[in-house]
A and B are shown apart, each in its own frame.
Chain A
Amino acid sequence: MPKITLIEFSGQDHTIDAEAGKSLMQNAIDNGVPGIDADCGGACACGTCHCFVSEDWLAATGEADAMEEAMLGMRPDRADNSRLACQIEVSDELDGLVVNLPEFQM
């Protein structure tokens, strides 16, 4: 099982044993990590699973498609490494992934 670390805005970190084949969002929710709301349930439709992928992992996690870009574009705290966690599929290749969570979801 790939190990993934999510760091809350407060600095509190959570390392989870993630399940490959599921999204990063679903893994975070299943493991009770706070800071991700996921209002739409993973449809790339609400923008409330915003996260920041650490620089080393940008290539491995892939690129946002047009819809994800549109949703990210509405975030006031959008950064170059912004992604929606529901659009990142966890695989064994992501063992060791580190993502930061934003101050708020909206």
Chain B
Amino acid sequence: MNQAIELPDPNSIPLEQIDVSDGRIYQQDAWRPFFARLREEAPVHYCADSAFGPFWSVTRFEDIVAVDTNHEVFSSEPAIVIGDMTEEMEVEMFIAMDPPKHDVQRRAAQPVVAPQNLAQMESLIRSRVCAILDNLPVGETFNWVDEVSINLTTQMLATLFDFPFEERSKLTYWSDVAAGSPEIAGGDVDQEERIPALMECLETFNRIWHERKGRDEGFDLITLLQRDPHTADLPDRPMEFLGNLMLLIVGGNDTTRNSITGGVLALNQNPAEYDKLRSDHGLIPGMVSEIIRWQTPLMHMRRTAKQDVELRGQQIKQGDKVVMWYLSGNRDESAIENADDFIIDRANPRHHVSFGFGIHRCMGNRLGEMQLRILWEEIMRRFSFVEVVGEPERVRSNFVRGYTNLPVKLHAL
């Protein structure tokens, strides 16, 4: 793909030439008319030729739910992104497994992020959020992505794992390496860097696991995995151990990071909503759901048809890639009223597709929501305005909807 080539006009090219797998569409924030046309004219759309080969796009909310809940026909194996990964290491991530193996592994990890456990971590997370916010410069321009979104997400990951705090940047590095291959996020991490990094991750967590064994207290993810009989021997199955770790690290990194940035941007683009928030901080929990919908930090999930199947009149063949565009489902007027608008006090804000549906639905959704809630509660206690003072710079990817730069200036209360 040549970066100098301009994007086509989605409303003037033939329908069959529309290719929404091009990461530049999202980097340039140009996706809205592409998906508006697909939802209207070809809600189950076939792209015969793309950099990732042929694939189907499913763009309406209702159809996304139908595909996501039909795991008998739409498999999560071998991969859950458009590109097929050239996997040299058999890391076992249950996000890319079908039942029954998926169910067993997910069941073991799920209690770790259950709300009753999260509640035990809330005060520590809050104290770290406060420390970051208290050290920000007021009245100066700085990059919100680096100073807050990445910094905070990294600290939270370290908190959740009770990871050595001074070494916490390793977590972000491993996450970026694991998710940053060109096939997934359009990144530039090559396999020669990737494998040693993942092995270092595994070794580090093996060491932490053994150091922590027998400890009675603590609500960190490692201790909780040790306490559960299903996962107490996890390091004996290294690729499963690594897979679970990567899922917990990656799943909680880009998603939260970009929702933190996206919320600031959305409130700046919608000043009346910011005013609503200023006058009623009780709107924060609903606003958090709206931010997650509006941002849609993971734009798609892919399935592979296990058999020939008809969907909205289209004949999908066994082996075809079927991509559910969550980004589009979250803008579908037939499921969400005023779907293009950011409304922090929506009647039913949890009704969005950002977490997916069915057996692969986001496991850490309550954790992500809690982190965003705490952050916004503490922002509103300190600053009257997080003002965006420049254009955001976005990530080139068809999977992660993210930002590299958002210049802001803080105004004190």
Binding site for B on A (CB under 8 A): 37-41, 43-48, 67, 70-71, 73-77, 103-104, 106
| Chain B minimum-CB-distance residue to A47 | B361
Any A CB within 8 A of the CB of B365: yes
Please indicate the chain A residues that have their CB under 8 angstroms from the CB of B115 in the complex.
103-104, 106
B75-114 Cβ-contact flags toward A at 8 Å (1 or 0): 0000000000000000000000001000100110011011
CB distance from A103 to the nearest CB of B (A): 6
CB distance from A66 to the nearest CB of B (A): 9
| Also in contact, A39 and B107, with CB within 8 A (given A47-B361, A104-B366) | no
Quick check: A71 and B359 within 8 Å, CB to CB? yes
State the CA gap A9–B341 with chains docked (Å). Answer: 35
| Also in contact, A45 and B357, with CB within 8 A (given A37-B350, A106-B366) | yes
Please indicate the chain B residues that have their CB under 8 angstroms from the CB of A40 in the complex.
65, 351, 357
CB distance from B207 to the nearest CB of A (A): 28
Please indicate the chain A residues that have their CB under 8 angstroms from the CB of B352 in the complex.
39
The list of the 10 closest CB pairs from A to B, nearest first, reads: A45-B357, A104-B115, A76-B111, A39-B350, A45-B69, A76-B114, A70-B359, A106-B366, A43-B65, A76-B110
State the CA gap A76–B357 with chains docked (Å). Answer: 17
Q: Which of A46, A77, A104 meets B357, CB within 8 Å?
A: A46
Quick check: A45 and B366 within 8 Å, CB to CB? no
Quick check: B357 and A43 within 8 Å, CB to CB? yes
Quick check: B358 and A45 within 8 Å, CB to CB? yes
| Also in contact, A70 and B351, with CB within 8 A (given A40-B357, A46-B357) | no
State the CA gap A37–B352 with chains docked (Å). Answer: 12
Please indicate the chain B residues that have their CB under 8 angstroms from the CB of A41 in the complex.
348, 351
Quick check: A45 and B65 within 8 Å, CB to CB? yes
Interface magnitude class on chain B:
20 to 34
Any A CB within 8 A of the CB of B332: no
Please indicate the chain B residues that have their CB under 8 angstroms from the CB of A71 in the complex.
358-359
State the CA gap A46–B362 with chains docked (Å). Answer: 9
Quick check: B69 and A67 within 8 Å, CB to CB? yes
Q: Which of B68, B71, B103, B365 meets A106, CB within 8 Å?
A: B365
State the CA gap A68–B111 with chains docked (Å). Answer: 19
CB distance from A85 to the nearest CB of B (A): 15
Highest count of chain A CB atoms <10 Å: which of B107, B110, B361: B361
Q: Which of B69, B71, B103, B355 meets A44, CB within 8 Å?
A: B69
| Chain B minimum-CB-distance residue to A40 | B357
Any A CB within 8 A of the CB of B279: no
Q: Which of A43, A45, A73, A76 meets B103, CB within 8 Å?
A: A73
State the CA gap A64–B67 with chains docked (Å). Answer: 20
Any A CB within 8 A of the CB of B3: no
State the CA gap A39–B366 with chains docked (Å). Answer: 12
| Also in contact, A74 and B114, with CB within 8 A (given A39-B351, A45-B65, A106-B365) | no
Quick check: B69 and A73 within 8 Å, CB to CB? no
Any A CB within 8 A of the CB of B116: yes
CB distance from A18 to the nearest CB of B (A): 20
State the CA gap A56–B65 with chains docked (Å). Answer: 34
Quick check: B110 and A74 within 8 Å, CB to CB? yes
B50-72 Cβ-contact flags toward A at 8 Å (1 or 0): 00000000000000010011010
B17-48 Cβ-contact flags toward A at 8 Å (1 or 0): 00000000000000000000000000000000
Please indicate the chain B residues that have their CB under 8 angstroms from the CB of A104 in the complex.
114-116, 366
State the CA gap A74–B361 with chains docked (Å). Answer: 10
B358-397 with Cβ < 8 A to chain A: 358-359, 361, 363, 365-366
CB distance from A47 to the nearest CB of B (A): 7
Please indicate the chain A residues that have their CB under 8 angstroms from the CB of B111 in the complex.
76
Quick check: B366 and A70 within 8 Å, CB to CB? no
B327-360 with Cβ < 8 A to chain A: 348, 350-352, 355, 357-359
State the CA gap A75–B361 with chains docked (Å). Answer: 12
CB distance from A48 to the nearest CB of B (A): 8
| Chain A minimum-CB-distance residue to B366 | A106
Quick check: B350 and A103 within 8 Å, CB to CB? no
14 contacts between A and B (CB under 8 A): A39-B351, A40-B357, A43-B65, A43-B69, A45-B69, A47-B361, A67-B69, A70-B71, A70-B359, A74-B107, A74-B110, A77-B114, A104-B366, A106-B115
Quick check: B359 and A74 within 8 Å, CB to CB? yes
State the CA gap A104–B366 with chains docked (Å). Answer: 10
Q: Which of B68, B106, B113 meets A45, CB within 8 Å?
A: B68
Please indicate the chain A residues that have their CB under 8 angstroms from the CB of B350 in the complex.
37-39, 48
Please indicate the chain B residues that have their CB under 8 angstroms from the CB of A39 in the complex.
350-352, 355
State the CA gap A74–B106 with chains docked (Å). Answer: 7
State the CA gap A104–B99 with chains docked (Å). Answer: 25
Contacts A40-B65, A74-B363 known; 17 new A-B pairs at CB < 8 A: A41-B348, A41-B351, A43-B65, A45-B358, A45-B361, A46-B357, A46-B361, A70-B71, A71-B358, A73-B103, A73-B359, A74-B359, A76-B110, A104-B116, A106-B113, A106-B114, A106-B365
